[in-house]
Chains A and B, each alone.
Chain A
Amino acid sequence: MMMSTQAPPADALEESAERAFRIRWPAVVGAVTLVVLVVLLSVMQGAGGLPLSGVARSLAGALPGVDVAQTLTPQQQGVLWQIRLPRTALAALVGASLAMAGAGYQGVFRNPLADPYLLGVSAGAGLGAVLALGFGLDLAWGPVGALPAAAFIGALVAVTGSVLVARGSFRDPATLLLAGVAMAALFAALQTFALQQLDQSRTREVLSWLFGRLATQGWQPVSLLLPYAVLAGAVLLVHARHLDVLRLGDDEARALGLRPARSRLVVVAAATLITAAAVSVSGLIGFVGLVTPHVVRLLVGHSYRLLIPLSALVGGAFLALADVGARTLVAPAELPVGVITALVGAPFFCFVLWHGRRDR
């Protein structure tokens, strides 16, 4: 029997990889069902207090070829179609984006603590937002407001800075991670300094954005985020196998014909882009990107081919559900959605961790 230097380990690897990558259909079906249920709940529940039958008629009436008598007042129609539905869609989309990006970062850094804000996205976006809101810095072009544009650019600048400090090397994730920490600290300091210079009336608006809020300008933020989410999501999905192989170690990955540094670069770029886009329309919503991948992992194991799409579904459902809480718990007042994600998410995550560790 011929012994090549590569084939047996490769075979063994592929085999063990395949074993780990069985699609768990129940989990997939469950996640999709969860999203559908949460979206329905979100449409039904809100501060506006719309009659359910009216909502059902209005939704059914929107389907092609269906003709039912509408019972909602024009005002209620406006609330449903221009405020509640777009906000539900935005919450699901932002949650999906952050969770996917979080999974991507965790794969690249092989670090369970990695989250989408690791490389300074949050601090960079925050600085951009403070500058745009507070100093009328106008980066607006076309339909995009100054705030999302500035936050988006700030986020990309901060991450690019981190990558440059790490000399563009994706060979050693630890260096990049440290560069990210330093860059985040720098931008956070600049952001604090800028906040200090602000007029008081503007400060509240900035803080509100920093706490994370789902922008409500009809469908516009949704259409802003959707292309990024689809594009970057596709890139992440295509590279999920790379992340799976990277888990085995760089040498093994090279043995399988992968270029680890390049894979990391692509994943970090996609995850950063999607995070920056999400942050630009919703501010800094914590916890979703960090925790969702772990919850999904405990449910379906470690394969990124399953982890990324399921994280998107579960993250979307999680944030949409948190937003239902933000809109209804103290209605007609509003809670910052970031508060809910942590308040509800942290205990739930603790339970999942405790439960998950039991059978390991």
Chain B
Amino acid sequence: MTPPRPTFRIVTALAAAVLLASCGADEAPVDETPEQAAPDAATTPPADESSASADAQPALDAFPVTIDTPTGEVVIEERPERIISLSPSATEILFAIGAGDQVIAADEFSNYPPNAPTTELSGYEPNVEAIVGYEPDLVVLANDINEIEASLTALDIPVIINTAPLDVDSGYDGMAALGLATGHADEAAAAVSGMRAAMEDALSAAPQDAQIRVYHELDETFFSASSHSYIGSVYAAMGVVNIADEADTDQTGYPQLTEEAIVTADPQLILIQSQAAYTAEDVAARPGWSQVSAVKNGNIIVVDSDISSRWGPRLPQLVDLVVGALSDIAVPAGR
């Protein structure tokens, strides 16, 4: 719980005019617009501005710190200034908690925020030599692939494995851990409470009792996300019926459905990926789909693939979008 800091700063980011208010307060931000890129509690200094080093360090940011990670405890001796983030989700979080200017390199898929230092580094096939070449003092990974953690630890480079959370709540812990690790514990706490508030705010508008049948399509081969997946848990919080659940008997989170089952389940809302090579029109034109409710009533919406596949501060935007679509379906008293 931090005292409110009534300072507002407007940062104009690259393409989208992104409004980032830094208030660090607990109160719920009101009127979250889809254009807003981060919860109000987050501070994102522009890349050319180094503010963190000038700040007096609060007591919480005293180093060394010990971080609990899924793979054990990691001790970070002093405030990291050369962070490499090989996880797009972690990159978004680091920038949202004000550690952005300590990040010197991010992996090839860290495409947000726009000023993230995206490089050729890979998070899927991490190359120790390429990583060490940047002389990092902290490496954040999504998964320990090819024993990368052991290799880096052997070189005295601390590693934090920031695994993809299975639901929204467990993601907050990762955010707090990254705050502690980078010397931004208070900003992380503020970001967490801001995001919690934004999520509650967005979810409060969901038509919980409407039992709307939803189909989240990952690709043209009818892979879907059930309630056991991260994004599916977000939908579940909206009180929808996820048509992929029936197929996900082993609870992997991402079952492949048969086309027949999808059409027969008659989803009222279909969500497709922004990265997909096809459009809502293409889905509507699929042979045999013309009688599906979502197609008949034009309820096929495109969700940002990045937001729906990584835990991050932009999640409330997606919730707003989907809740809006659900409300539109629920309001006409059809069923």
Chain A residues in the interface with B (C-beta under 8 A): 46-49, 73-79, 81-84, 86, 133, 136, 196, 199-202, 204-205, 208-209, 213, 216-220, 327, 330-334
Closest CB of chain B to A57's CB: distance in Å? 18
Out of A81, A86, A204, A216, name the residue touching B219 (CB < 8 Å). A204
**How many residues from B make CB contacts under 8 Å with A?**
37
Could you tell me if A196 and B257 are in contact, using CB atoms closer than 8 angstroms? no
Main SS at interface, chain A: helix
Tell me the total A-B contact number using a CB cutoff of 8 A: 103
B260 contacts A by Cβ under 8 Å: yes
Could you tell me if A75 and B291 are in contact, using CB atoms closer than 8 angstroms? yes
Of A49, A133, A332, chain B has the most CB atoms within 10 Å of the CB of A332
List residues of B (282-335) whose CB comes within 8 Å of A's CBs. Answer: 286-292, 305, 309
Could you tell me if A330 and B249 are in contact, using CB atoms closer than 8 angstroms? yes
Which stretch, B77-85, B220-228, B229-237, touches the partner chain A? B220-228
Closest CB of chain B to A15's CB: distance in Å? 54
Given the interface pairs A48-B264, A75-B266, A331-B258, the reply to whether A204 lies near B218 with Cβ below 8 Å is yes
CB neighbours (8 Å) of A83 from chain B are 259-260, 263, 287-288
Closest CB of chain B to A349's CB: distance in Å? 27
By Cβ-Cβ distance, the 6 closest A-B pairs, closest first, are: A218-B287, A82-B288, A332-B261, A48-B260, A333-B247, A82-B287
List residues of B (245-264) whose CB comes within 8 Å of A's CBs. Answer: 246-249, 255-264
Could you tell me if A200 and B124 are in contact, using CB atoms closer than 8 angstroms? yes
Complex Cα distance A133/B220, Å?
A: 11
What are 22 A-B interface contacts by the 8 Å CB criterion?
Answer: A48-B263, A75-B263, A75-B264, A77-B291, A78-B290, A81-B288, A83-B288, A200-B109, A201-B305, A202-B275, A205-B219, A217-B286, A220-B287, A327-B258, A331-B261, A332-B258, A332-B260, A332-B265, A333-B247, A333-B248, A333-B257, A334-B257
CB neighbours (8 Å) of B261 from chain A are 47-48, 331-333
B277 contacts A by Cβ under 8 Å: yes
Complex Cα distance A213/B275, Å?
A: 22
CB neighbours (8 Å) of B258 from chain A are 46-47, 327, 331-334
CB neighbours (8 Å) of A217 from chain B are 286-287
Could you tell me if B264 and A49 are in contact, using CB atoms closer than 8 angstroms? yes
CB neighbours (8 Å) of A82 from chain B are 287-289
Complex Cα distance A209/B255, Å?
A: 16
CB neighbours (8 Å) of A84 from chain B are 260
Could you tell me if B256 and A334 are in contact, using CB atoms closer than 8 angstroms? yes
CB neighbours (8 Å) of A205 from chain B are 219-221
CB neighbours (8 Å) of B242 from chain A are none
Could you tell me if A201 and B309 are in contact, using CB atoms closer than 8 angstroms? yes
Closest CB of chain B to A6's CB: distance in Å? 58
Q: Which residue of A lies closest to B306 (CB)?
A: A201
Complex Cα distance A115/B288, Å?
A: 35
Closest CB of chain B to A328's CB: distance in Å? 9
Complex Cα distance A78/B291, Å?
A: 7
Could you tell me if A201 and B124 are in contact, using CB atoms closer than 8 angstroms? no
Of A75, A81, A199, A327, chain B has the most CB atoms within 10 Å of the CB of A75
Could you tell me if B287 and A86 are in contact, using CB atoms closer than 8 angstroms? yes
Complex Cα distance A46/B273, Å?
A: 27
Complex Cα distance A199/B286, Å?
A: 25
B49 contacts A by Cβ under 8 Å: no
Could you tell me if A78 and B221 are in contact, using CB atoms closer than 8 angstroms? no
CB neighbours (8 Å) of A220 from chain B are 287
Chain B residues in the interface with A (C-beta under 8 A): 109, 124-125, 218-223, 246-249, 255-266, 273, 275, 277, 286-292, 305, 309
CB neighbours (8 Å) of A200 from chain B are 109, 124
Closest CB of chain A to B24's CB: distance in Å? 34
Complex Cα distance A204/B225, Å?
A: 13
Q: Which residue of A lies closest to B122 (CB)?
A: A196
Closest CB of chain A to B106's CB: distance in Å? 15
Complex Cα distance A218/B265, Å?
A: 19
CB neighbours (8 Å) of B256 from chain A are 208, 333-334
CB neighbours (8 Å) of A74 from chain B are 291
Given the interface pairs A204-B223, A205-B219, A327-B258, the reply to whether A79 lies near B287 with Cβ below 8 Å is no
Could you tell me if A78 and B255 are in contact, using CB atoms closer than 8 angstroms? no
Complex Cα distance A331/B255, Å?
A: 11
Closest CB of chain B to A94's CB: distance in Å? 16
Could you tell me if B273 and A327 are in contact, using CB atoms closer than 8 angstroms? no
Could you tell me if B260 and A208 are in contact, using CB atoms closer than 8 angstroms? no
Q: Which residue of B lies closest to A208 (CB)?
A: B221
CB neighbours (8 Å) of B264 from chain A are 47-49, 75-76, 79
Complex Cα distance A332/B221, Å?
A: 14
Closest CB of chain B to A208's CB: distance in Å? 4
Could you tell me if A79 and B260 are in contact, using CB atoms closer than 8 angstroms? yes
Given the interface pairs A75-B266, A201-B309, A332-B246, the reply to whether A327 lies near B109 with Cβ below 8 Å is no
Closest CB of chain B to A163's CB: distance in Å? 33
Q: Which residue of A lies closest to B309 (CB)?
A: A201
Could you tell me if A79 and B263 are in contact, using CB atoms closer than 8 angstroms? yes
Could you tell me if B247 and A330 are in contact, using CB atoms closer than 8 angstroms? yes
Out of A133, A327, A330, name the residue touching B260 (CB < 8 Å). A327
CB neighbours (8 Å) of B249 from chain A are 330, 333
Closest CB of chain B to A81's CB: distance in Å? 7
**Further 9 A-B residue pairs, CB within 8 A, beyond A75-B292, A334-B258:** A74-B291, A75-B264, A78-B289, A83-B260, A83-B287, A204-B221, A327-B258, A327-B260, A334-B256
Q: Which residue of B lies closest to A219 (CB)?
A: B287
Complex Cα distance A47/B256, Å?
A: 12
Could you tell me if A46 and B219 are in contact, using CB atoms closer than 8 angstroms? no
Could you tell me if A199 and B288 are in contact, using CB atoms closer than 8 angstroms? no
CB neighbours (8 Å) of A86 from chain B are 287
Complex Cα distance A209/B256, Å?
A: 13
